[in-house]
Every structure is written in structure tokens, then in C-alpha cells.
Amino acid sequence: MTPLSDAERFARLRLARTDRVGPVAFSQLLQRFGSAVRAVEALPDLARRSGRDGYALPPVERVEAELAAGERRGARLILLGDCDYPDLLAAVDPPPPLLWARGDIALLSRPCIGVVGARIASAGGQRIARGLSQQLGEAGHVVVSGLARGIDAAAHLGALPTGTAAVLGGGVDDIYPSENADLYRQIVEQGCIVSESPVGARAQARDFPRRNRIISGLSRGVIVVEAEIRSGSLITARLANEQGRDVFAVPGSPLDPRSKGPNELLRQGAILCEGVEDVERAFNALRTLREPSTPSPFSDAPGEIDQAVIERVAALLSPTPTPRDELARALSLPIGVVASALLELSLVGRASLLPGGLASI
């Protein structure tokens, strides 16, 4: 893999921090233009043609400030396309454009498994998470979790001697909850702290689904120890399933509401997990992870899309996600033309690009 140039690295960070450029649009802009440098040059004109004059990329000074903040905190920027970007995460559709990391980034490319669960966890649940994570680490796995109180913290503690990675919702320097400050410092020294958010950012509610997606994306499988039905842990399990990863659940008493989540996952086909043997048995079974990579849809796209075509594509969109190939058939247009029109509509907030080639309003 050819290393990214300094100019391309800077452009990828700038593109990733651009308003309305999420992971789907980021990947599609790279596919359409071949590099972030060319995408950054084309972006203002793309947005202008789609109906938004004065569309602005983040100022160069803001990107430079984020890089300087990362350097001050001893963090490393890992961009999609870097040789040390984790292969398993790169296979997610779409992959996060970047990660900030503190600690041993080599852990992210070792076999990883997520261990997640309730913040208000029982003493027994925390003991299970800690002991299971210790066994997983001794068996060669890196335990990934979210540094939350309860099950997450217990999982990190169990795996500290062998290697653990904590994925944060805020910036890589955002210690939350504050009671885990000492654990955070230990992970920086012995493991790895990871975040997709800008350095210095404080975690907001909207950041945690993205955090959960990275936990599952880094991992070959995810184990849920305790969780209520409506919880972030079950979101992580759902994301893992969508990414083609194994989902494990530790069964619990039906009298404890924290057991309802894992027990429901078992009803839905999750793998029963009572110890590391169940994990090893599942991983040794012949199984292929879902391959999300598809040929670029922009191979037959013209350099510029007529505004009338963009409006025709926009008229077919609805709140229900629609495959772009279905839009192409309905309009009798090449899929590259439709993909380009959707990309331009997304940049001005008139369409939402979703994984799997879907789009909605």
C-alpha cells in the first residue's frame, strides 16, 4: 500500500470534518474523484450546482488546530487508506474516515472481540465480564469496549494485562465518566484509546451510536453480558450482526431486567456464551465475514451532472430508503449518473446517503 502524501492526509481530515460529509459521502467522494485533494477542490462547485451557494469547507486553520491538539495529547491520526488502518474496520460499509488513537495502535490490527453491557451492572455481571475478558486476552484476543461504567469498565480491567482498546464517543482526550480516569490512564499505557470525534470534543448523545459501530467494526464478534431491551449494548449487537460479525450473549435470570437484552438476543439466534470455549468454538467454525466492498458506482458517471437530472432523482426520493439501482432503472439512467446526483443532493441536505447504496430524504 502506497503511503498517503501529507497533502492527501490533510485533505482527508478536512473532507471528513466537512458539514454533511458523513462516512458514506466521504467514501463516495474518494471513489468519484480518486483522491481527497481533488474532492476538496471540487466540493464547493458540486454544492453550488446542487443549489447551495457559498458552501464552505472547514477553514484550513481549524484542521491545523485539530492536528496540533492531537500532537499535544500524544495522539496519532489514522486515516482510511493508511497502512495501519485496521483491516476489519476497513471492511465495514462504509468505514469511518479516520480514527484518533492514543497508546499501542498495533492492538487494533490483532484479533479483537467486543465485550459490552449495562452501565448499572450487577456484581455478578461485572465478575463475568472481567473473568471472561481475562480469558479472552489469554487466548490471544484484544478486548474492545466503550470505557463506560459497569460491564465496559470490568471488561477493560480484565484484559489490561493482555491488551484492550477503548472506543470513546467524545474526543480521544475526553475521559467519561470521570470515575474511569485512572482506568483511562492505564489503557493509554497498556492498551489503546480510540475515537472518531475531533480532539477536544465532549461526548454528545449522537456520538454513541457511531462509537458502538466502531466497537463492532473492530471486532470479529461482540459479547453482550447484561443489557436491558432498550440499550446501547443491543444497538452494538445489531450493528455487529449487520456487519456480518458473530453476536454472543451471556444468559441471565429472567427475574433481572438486565438479563432481558441478552436473553432476547439468544431468542433471535445469538450464540450462547458461558465461557471462552463458546467463543473459540464459534470462531473455529467455517464462516466468511460479509464482504461489503462493491465496485465503484462512478465508473460510468460523467464529469458534471445536469441540474435537470438531479431534480429528477430528487423527485423519486422518499423517507423510505431506496436502492440507487432501483432509481436508475426508474429513470433509465446509468447508475453512475444517479450515484453522482445523490452525492450532490446529500451535500446540500436534500438526500441522506445510507450504507448499502441506499438513499432517502
DSSP string, 42-101: HHHHHHHHTT-TT--PPPHHHHHHHHHHHHHTT-EEEETTSTTS-HHHHTSSSPPSEEEE
302 has a pLDDT exceeding 70: no
Cβ–Cβ under 8 Å, residues 360 and 321: yes
Of the candidates 226, 207, 82, 212, the residue with the CA atom closest to the CA atom of residue 150: 226
CATH class of domain segment(s) 307-360: mainly alpha
Q: Mean pLDDT, to the nearest integer, of 300-326?
A: 86
**Pairing verdict, β 98-103 and 192-195:** antiparallel
> How do residues 39-72 score in pLDDT, each as one tens digit?
999 988 877 776 665 567 899 999 999 999 999 9
In this prediction, residues 223-241 reach a mean pLDDT of 92
pLDDT value at residue 292: 46
Place of cell 453550488: 48
3-state DSSP assignment of residue 204: coil
For domain 102-284, is the CATH number 1.10.3080.10? no
Q: Residue 301 has what pLDDT?
A: 61
3-state helix, strand, coil split of the chain in percent (to 5) is: 45, 15, 40
Q: What is the pTM of this model?
A: 0.88
Residue extents of the structural domains in the chain: 102-284, 307-360
User: Does position 289 have pLDDT exceeding 60, yes or no?
Assistant: no
Closest CA to 247 of 287, 208, 207: 287
pLDDT score recorded for residue 45: 82
pLDDT-derived band of residue 201, with 50, 70 and 90 as boundaries?
A: very high
**290 pLDDT more than 60:** no
Q: What percent of the chain has pLDDT over 90?
A: 75
Q: How far is 99 from 213, CA to CA, in rounded Å? A: 13
1 vs 157, which has greater pLDDT?
157
pLDDT digits (tens, 9 = 90+) for 114-139: 999 999 999 999 999 999 999 999 99
| pLDDT at position 338 over 70 | yes
Q: Which residue has the higher pLDDT, 132 or 203?
A: 132
130-152 mean pLDDT: 97
Residue 139 pLDDT: 95
